[in-house]
Amino acid sequence: MKFSRIALLLVGASFFACQTENNDQPTDTVQSDVSPEIVEKLANFDVNTNNVKKVDFLLPDGSTIPMIQMEEDLHMSEDQARNLPNLQELSGKNYHTNNLVAQNTVIDIIGYTGGGGFGLSNKGRTGLQWAVNNYNRLNLSIRFNLTFGTDYQNKDMVVYVNPNQSGSGGSAGFPEGGAPFKWVQIYGLDGFSNNVNEHVICHEIGHSVGFRHTDYFSRQSCGQNVNEGSAGVGANPIPGTPSGYDPTSIMLACFSGSTDGEFNNNDITALNYLY
């Protein structure tokens, strides 16, 4: 969803904002062709390849690393893309990728507090604490150890602000090699409640441990009718979760400003199934 749409909807009683979609092009984007080999890999992984591009992904120290951006919100390295499994060889629910975090893993997650616009605000810190609490209270086989500070190099996951991104939301990526995706960006959330900050960060962590969008087949939460994948094959459905649209899932593609930031029962079922 474009920033202009968000601005218009702010006038109404309720609104939706993209939470994991970098739908406005970031200022650090470098558009270039992605090799046909990688595009084919992504297509076999059930990724919509209509808008796959290379970007310079912004880190908390202001440096960048090359990434591939897909589905307007998710990122991975070229090596990670080359190593993706072919999901089309596998048989509306919650959906997960084949790449997951290793069982019985303690994830050291840090909320970045540095300067330059990259540090979390008070709302961002509260949202991160509440999001981590959401996961840890479920007693999963993965557990988060949360700290705040600037020494993030040896951490498994870093949550920080991208000051160059317009709109409101966040971005992340998928696990690799049994480890979660390290970089979790949020942006434009200071005008929202602590609950919205909690929701967006909780959602991004969900991607980082292997979840796809609950409505990946339609993006209905964004007011769209677009399949992020290839007609519903490939993204792994999770038993016990509904096949239709689930309007309160934490993993919807877009969020409402009235969200409470909590997992619904189907999200909990999905997490307990995977971890």
Say yes or no to pLDDT of 94 above 70.
Answer: no
What are the structural domains, with CATH classification, of the chain? 3-25+88-274 (3.40.390.10)
**Which of 36, 84, 97 minimizes the C-alpha distance to 52?**
36
> Which pLDDT score, from 0 to 100, does residue 89 have?
44
Retrieve residue 217's tokens: 């087949």
Q: 70 φ, ψ to 5°? A: -140, 160
**pLDDT level of residue 84 (50, 70, 90 thresholds):** confident
Say yes or no to pLDDT of 99 above 80.
Answer: no
**Which of 154, 223, 162, 241 minimizes the C-alpha distance to 8?**
223
Read off the pLDDT of residues 237-268 as tens digits, 9 standing for 90 and up: 677 777 778 889 999 989 999 999 999 999 99
Cα R_g (the chain), whole angstroms: 17
Q: Is 159 or 54 the better-scoring residue by pLDDT?
A: 159
**pLDDT level of residue 229 (50, 70, 90 thresholds):** low
Q: Is 4 or 110 the better-scoring residue by pLDDT?
A: 110
* Mean pLDDT calculated for residue range 44-69: 84
Most confident of 13-27, 43-57, 133-147: 133-147
Say yes or no to pLDDT of 129 above 80.
Answer: yes
Q: What residues pair up with 170 in beta bridges, in sequence order?
A: 186
**Which of 106, 95, 137 minimizes the C-alpha distance to 227?**
95
Retrieve residue 36's tokens: 């046909």
Say yes or no to pLDDT of 8 above 50.
Answer: no
> Which pLDDT score, from 0 to 100, does residue 222 have?
87
Instruction: Return d(Cα 213, Cα 8) in angstroms, integer.
Output: 25
> Which pLDDT score, from 0 to 100, does residue 70 have?
78
Pairing of strands 74-76, 64-70: antiparallel
Say yes or no to pLDDT of 137 above 80.
Answer: yes
Mapping DSSP to helix (H, G, I), strand (E, B) and coil, where does residue 124 land?
helix
Residue 63's CB: how many other CB atoms inside 10 A? 9
Concatenated DSSP letters of 29-55: ----PPPHHHHHHHHHTT---TT-EEE
Q: 195 φ, ψ to 5°? A: -65, -40
- From the DSSP assignment, how many helices (H) and strands (E) are in the chain? 6, 12
Pairing of strands 142-149, 53-58: unpaired
Instruction: Return d(Cα 78, Cα 59) in angstroms, integer.
Output: 17
